[in-house]
Structure 1
Amino acid sequence: MNPNLSDWDDDLPPEPEEAYQDLLRALKRKSGFGLFFVQCTPGEADKFIVKLPQEIPQKKIAVLRLVEAIDNLYQPVAEFIKDKQIDILLIKGLEYSLYKYEKRNFGEITEGQFSNLTSVPHILNHLNQQRERFRDDFTISFVFLLRSFSINYFIHRAPDFFDWRSGVFELPTTPEVVEQESNRLIDEADYEEYLKLSPEQKIEKVLEIQDLLTEKHQPQSRKANLLFELGRLLDSADEFEAAIASYDQALKFKPDYHYAWYNRGNALRNLGRTEEAIASYDQALKFKPDDHYAWNNRGNALRNLGRTEEAIASYDQALKFKPDYHYAWYNRGYALDNLGRYKEAIASYDQALKFKPDYHYAWYNRGYVLDNLGRYKEAIASYDQALKFKPDDHYAWNNRGYVLGKLGRNEEAIASYDQALKFKPDDHEAWNNRGIALGKLGRNEEAIASYDQALKFKPDYHYAWYERSHILRKLGHYKKAINSFEQAVRNDPDFSKSRIIIVFICKILLIIVKIFPKLINSFKILLKLIILRR
């Protein structure tokens, strides 16, 4: 007989009940100061907190629940146990003090890998430095209920405190607990809620999912769902590369998981990997041909590549399966606008507004297209609707002013530009357009001041330099007008060398005029022609 066969089970991990009984025995025997570390999930911790007093009625047990990060544990413990008789203090929630130090790549799913830290968490420094005070002042058993990653922190970053441990106990999870914890995470999943989480809260959820993924009782079908949620969490943190890796893992377990293919496409598009994104959307549509979200986002990706006709066809597919999908109508209108098919674009925006009347983006773009068609009054009405639903849209206020200027309503245009600048004081285009309107009203000094503001925020804005030179010429500041025109030419991406030569000639003529003042009228006419025909 092989001598090793008789003790073949010696290396197996203890059964859940066996591990639990080991912990109970240790707590019963221990008197005075002691440090116990219990690795468990939050759900198991809550059950343990309820069950332990029933198992050891002879011991006085209390629970300190930490709900936020702390840098000092001694003081909260001292205040908590003051005037109380306590034998065992269970501490839950120390993880909150560690999350902000978690530097691992969000998408790293390597089992058991300890994070690379640039600094030691303050709470662990505190425990290292104060361990003697804990021993001397608190004659109780401390039981830290922790996740596996937290125990790793103690091992690597609080070795002095951890060395005084009375025991480390892992409570292996049962299939029922794994199922319960996993389903809780999946049922609570909500992308909009993910977006509201702080970075530390996101890390907490990421680590919780990663722990569950390593459980031996985790079936592959549920692993796919957990990996999908992990991907969405990473998406919400703008960790797109890591999110793609998570979706890829999910697809290994479930190749027809169309939601994973779709979200993978979104992450790829956010990284600018547009061709790959389209291929991912195509996979999603292979498994779910009526997914209007995938058709719509596929259209957006195609439009980004300049394949506008294909994009429109993709939006049409989205609308075939969901005719009231206002985003697809809006995106279709935007694509038609890019092709110069303005009347069709307006019809598409109107459909978007039929299904979502308060969609200010559609009102705004509709106004822009109406402007291109010369239907100025309708354009203003459309911008007014956009501003009704989003009063702080500086783009809409600016464009509204621009169209009012085309109608000669310059006072109203200036008021509109002022509103744009109220919401975005550094909007150089609004300052420039305001200068144009002031110039048309003959308020030349104010116009110059407005152009100067535009150039303060965008010094290379050649349009403002051009317009400024025109007003300076009107005011008789010919040298300044030429200098401003020179700045415009130098900053104009379409300038030609001949324009620089013209500026040089103007400067020579200005010198000649100083010598022969009678030539001033001819110089004025020449300068006007140069600036106006810029």
Structure 2
Amino acid sequence: MLTSNSTKFKSDEQESYLRLKRDLSWREGFGILFVRCTPVQEKRIIEEIKQDINDKTIDVLKLDHSIDNLYDLIEEKVNDNPIDILVISGLEKSLALDDYIKRTLENPKKAYQREALASLLGHLNWQRERFRDDFNCCLVFTVRKYTLKYLVRRAPDFFDWRSGVIEFPVDRDIDLLQYYTPFKANIEQQKPQQISQDIVHSSDEYYDLLKKLLLLEYENDGDLQAIHDVVESNADKLNSSFAKILKQWLLKTCAELNPEEKEAIAGIVESLCLDIAEYNLGKSANNLEIAITGLETVLQLRPRENLSKEWAKTINYIGTVYSFRIVGDKADNLEKAIACYQQALTVRTFEAFPEKWAITQNNLGIAYDDRIKGEKAENLEDAIACYQQALTVYTFEAFPEKFAMT
């Protein structure tokens, strides 16, 4: 029986989800379906499908390491209990795609040779009839964009048996796993020249921490507690050396990407920097310095002439971090914060972005209220003027909580 619960999906994702739900609800017997989605979307899809299609038996097979025989794993699942729909996740891990990407970077010709292919691909290509004959269920592979492209090229016989491909919109996000391995290899070459000698930990420790944080930010949709748990347990590594490596990684990474991919990476790093800054806000100088370094690097990747809205958002965030900054002179930091907010307001106008304009006006008011330089009375007048401006948007009727806070 079908229900109609798709509230966990964004408006642009609901169409894809409803199509998937419709397909699986009416499908009987064997079939192969590919669903292109992000890890966050994958989790929601599985939860919702289990809840919405309650007249079918649904199970999940999670692949977490390289394998060479998918048939046996499916058979084991199916033999335990009758299954109508089997969702298979982690195919990129079973194919060891990170190693493949690295080989492609090092030697493109060799990467395409037959012996360089994962043995699982041969198994999928050669034994596809066994899947059809022996499994009376629909196999739903949740995959990333790059996994889908890889299968089309390297397992065409198996892929041609698909019943369909349903693509969930990625909202300018991309799979970091696609890029991490080659970028780490590129940065490895720079270590002797560009990383200073004051590093306490090994470079690999910093890279591993960076990878863990980036993937947490991406895969958990910015789960603040998950980020803060890692930050807390790695406080000794969150220092100036980590900030330098973050900057290096980001610049080198984005130098080889197209604009859309570059912006996606920049957005993830921006979110990570804010989460790091928010941990023990105002008490951890290192965290705030990492955030400033990361955000200022993101700003370099967002030229105002091409990405004015994103540029304004980032410079507004930089202003906020400077207002809490511990390192350096407090008065100078507040001046930098004020300058950032004023620059943001050249894009965030009342006419174009009224709510963003109000946010920045409120931030500017707080900075003027705290300002050390200049005449105190004038600073307070400027602060009051900013708050009054913000209240033209933050009315009691439209934003009661923000109205009260302003």
TM-score bucket (shorter structure): 0.3 to 0.5
Is the helix fraction higher in 1 or 2? 1
Structure with larger Rg? 1
Q: Give the TM-score, by structure 2 length.
A: 0.42
TM-score (norm 1): 0.33
